[in-house]
Structure 1
């Protein structure tokens, strides 16, 4: 019964620092020493006075006395000395938890940390001494302190383009590719054809990775998670079934295989089959199937809207790059490697989410995703600095996110993926990405605010045709699974 009674009293013990009802809680007499290893790191040493320890212990035993069960005495009637002797260890553990919780809360309030991680505190290593004060240490990552740069009245260049019939035709061909049928081709491979290939990565003659029967489109560049074959078109053009090709791939500095980062590996490509794409006819049944379009003209109008949405993405991207460069020019803070490593996956997920809501195809998303992976460290550092500044602007301008913002973003993502908004939301929640989506919305709102105060100069923009084929394969191999951000194999719960 004693253990149960102590457990029941735990809530009372946690708030030992509070006074009587209606009174302000009594503050702890803390000695706090703060070291700053970097702009985003704080190493904090806290010393709790002996007087506070004794006060918490005394209060905890006073709460326990009426319900303490000691053999030989009626419940609540044992002398305090005996109760202290019997329950000293259990009460010490409770008081330790209360002191740590109250100390952390008071430090956070007094120092006004904008924490971006949980305190790195080893609870098991902390013990309440029999005599003298209690001292403990912890590390925490915080938003850096900085003077907000001037963000009103920036001069920006904005890409503009008027889409014509040729642009729409090209986009339709790309869109119809996922509905087309791959058929065997007689003759050698040409640009735009498809190759069924087996890929083997070799280091010092030893196989380190293999990917069988991968279907890739023959484009100028073949992009992997950890590197690229820049002249893939020149290498594979004219290839036939049974041909074997060889290329050298220099792995990126963020390749999954840490031992081979920055080193060249050999890529062997065996051509199993050459295929070409047979596109479907835009007849009445097909138009109705892919979007409920009544006429080809309706479909072309929808394609043009997609192109305009992608242009909007390019405008956002260009404006963001210029704004980020201007705002982060003086942001020379050192960012902790651990923070960068954790954030790199989140930044990749945010970027892919942005591409999805802008209507890009899966092939284009894979190519851009691989590029982001290969430059993850530098890109993450820049994105984090940008985020800290945009977050500060959002706070000062009272910008926030409401349910309508979430619904709108999820609807746009669902349009690209072909899944229902309900399923998209379930996937985001399952993978813990709603906070990433929130940051994306906030940052976009801040960017819109900055742009509303900026001065623009139009600059003609020519949409580029896809020249990179993206493959979710690491040539250098990997010790673990590559974080998946493109697809989520969740069972459809809608029934």
Structure 2
């Protein structure tokens, strides 16, 4: 085998490889002999056709198969000989052989290699590490949210007030003309939750069941409905039902509704506290990990293999399609999303993957079996039968890839925080949970 390496760019390489045709012909002949033992050829019993006829029927496909295998084998050997780390998939191109080289099958392999990753001094980085304390007040707030999620509405005969659910008919006109989306019947909404424009809600407050009122409403200039943005409308609103919110009592029935079999309110509170603290830890970890990743990107230098970026773009596009399908959308009738939409995200993912790989290797931050097991048990703890979840993970080694990757990232985060100049920043519970 003859090999010649050419550098085409920072990461682009080309290998020109020549394979002896004699070796290829010998392998083709050997395989045709195996094929002849069972080949079905018209006019002959299976396995009894002459080799020449077998070659006429199967020779082209067998030769194509052998060439494909020999190209892969030859490329792998050449890469090993040249000590190359190939990124992505190579592109193979046949090369016409002439003269003395006609006794070789020549092809070129074009590919990228992994870049050299230079990670700067993270010790000079100033990082904020988010912290959040979970107190009894946060547990109370969470319980209140759970109660509100189970709100019942009871019909009342009084005037509508903030917090009530109303069912209304309404008809709107602009300059005396009806407009699209300006009317509805039996429309329910809860006053004070911002579902309708403020002027509209103010016009409903004070009305009893069976009463009506004309209300003037100004649509904001940036209103999502462009045809009415910046205009004034008059709505005739008729109230058909007023119902006040009734929160469930904090009792055994409520506890049972949340999965506490014996209805023990103290157990319910302890379970909620455990779940809230677990979620706070998860969100803090995600927030701090993002800060570390941004720091690593800022101090690292590397060229990005575009082949890996393209693979990642394809993966992101596939994930988007699967997400649409899970939401019940007809993905077959949807136009394909443009790859450019995912380019920035793909580049960031590839860059981080290369940086983390180098950091883990250089500082021996690999995940230990104990760390992976602890992470799996942490996952399992949120399920009804944790032991069965742990067993499921360990039944197949590839199922541990996810927990192992997370532990690796945790190790990187801890390593960087241990080197950088870190300042703790208190984050409120509401901000962390997205309620601010």
Q: Please say whether Structure 1 and Structure 2 have the same fold, judged by a TM-score greater than 0.5.
A: yes
Which residue is 2:409 aligned to? 443
> 2:119, 2:299 within 8 Å by CA — same for their partners in 1?
no
Q: Identify the match of residue 283 of structure 1 among 240, 248, 251.
A: 251
| Counterpart secondary structure, 1:156 | strand
Q: Alpha carbons of 1:312 and 1:250: their partners in 2 closer, same or farther (altered >3 Å)?
A: farther
| Counterpart secondary structure, 2:250 | coil
**Where does 1:29-178 land on structure 2 (aligned, <5 Å)?**
29-33=2-6, 35-36=8-9, 42=12, 45-49=14-18, 51-62=19-30, 64-65=32-33, 68=36, 88-109=59-80, 110-113=82-85, 115=87, 117=88, 119=89, 121=91, 131=102, 133-137=105-109, 144-151=115-122, 155-178=126-149
Whole-angstrom distance in 1 between the partners of 2:280 and 2:419: 21
Q: Identify the match of residue 388 of structure 1 among 351, 354, 364.
A: 354
> 1:32, 1:46 within 8 Å by CA — same for their partners in 2?
yes
**Where does 1:287-436 land on structure 2 (aligned, <5 Å)?**
287-292=255-260, 295-331=264-300, 333=303, 336=306, 338-339=310-311, 341-342=313-314, 344=316, 381-396=347-362, 397-400=364-367, 402=369, 404=373, 407-408=376-377, 410-411=379-380, 414-415=382-383
Q: CA deviation at 1:275?
A: 7.5
Post-superposition Cα deviations, 1:199-233, rounded to whole Å, max 9, x if no partner, equal xxxxxx999xxxxx99899767x9xxxxxxxxx87
> 2:28, 2:62 within 8 Å by CA — same for their partners in 1?
yes
> 2:126, 2:421 within 8 Å by CA — same for their partners in 1?
yes
Larger Rg: 2
> 2:168, 2:188 within 8 Å by CA — same for their partners in 1?
yes
Q: CA deviation at 1:108?
A: 4.7
The TM-score with structure 2 as length reference comes to 0.59
| Counterpart secondary structure, 1:399 | coil
Q: CA deviation at 1:32?
A: 4.0
Q: Alpha carbons of 1:182 and 1:394: their partners in 2 closer, same or farther (altered >3 Å)?
A: farther
Whole-angstrom distance in 1 between the partners of 2:3 and 2:277: 59
Q: CA deviation at 1:143?
A: 5.2
Query: Unaligned regions of 5+ residues in structure 1, if any?
Result: 1-27, 198-204, 208-212, 223-231, 252-263, 350-374, 470-495
Which residue is 2:176 aligned to? none
Whole-angstrom distance in 2 between the partners of 1:347 and 1:179: 33
Query: Unaligned regions of 5+ residues in structure 2, if any?
Result: 170-178, 182-186, 206-211, 230-234, 322-340
Post-superposition Cα deviations, 1:212-268, rounded to whole Å, max 9, x if no partner, equal x99899767x9xxxxxxxxx87587547599999677799xxxxxxxxxxxx96799
> 1:190, 1:238 within 8 Å by CA — same for their partners in 2?
no
> 1:401, 1:442 within 8 Å by CA — same for their partners in 2?
no
Q: Alpha carbons of 1:348 and 1:310: their partners in 2 closer, same or farther (altered >3 Å)?
A: farther
| Counterpart secondary structure, 2:145 | helix
Q: Alpha carbons of 1:443 and 1:345: their partners in 2 closer, same or farther (altered >3 Å)?
A: farther
> 1:45, 1:135 within 8 Å by CA — same for their partners in 2?
no
- Structure in which a larger fraction of residues adopt strand: 2
Whole-angstrom distance in 2 between the partners of 1:401 and 1:85: 58
Q: Alpha carbons of 1:390 and 1:340: their partners in 2 closer, same or farther (altered >3 Å)?
A: same
Q: CA deviation at 1:404?
A: 2.2
Whole-angstrom distance in 1 between the partners of 2:54 and 2:347: 56
| Counterpart secondary structure, 2:20 | helix
Q: Alpha carbons of 1:323 and 1:102: their partners in 2 closer, same or farther (altered >3 Å)?
A: same
Q: CA deviation at 1:467?
A: 9.8
Q: CA deviation at 1:329?
A: 0.8
Whole-angstrom distance in 2 between the partners of 1:466 and 1:322: 15
Whole-angstrom distance in 2 between the partners of 1:378 and 1:218: 40
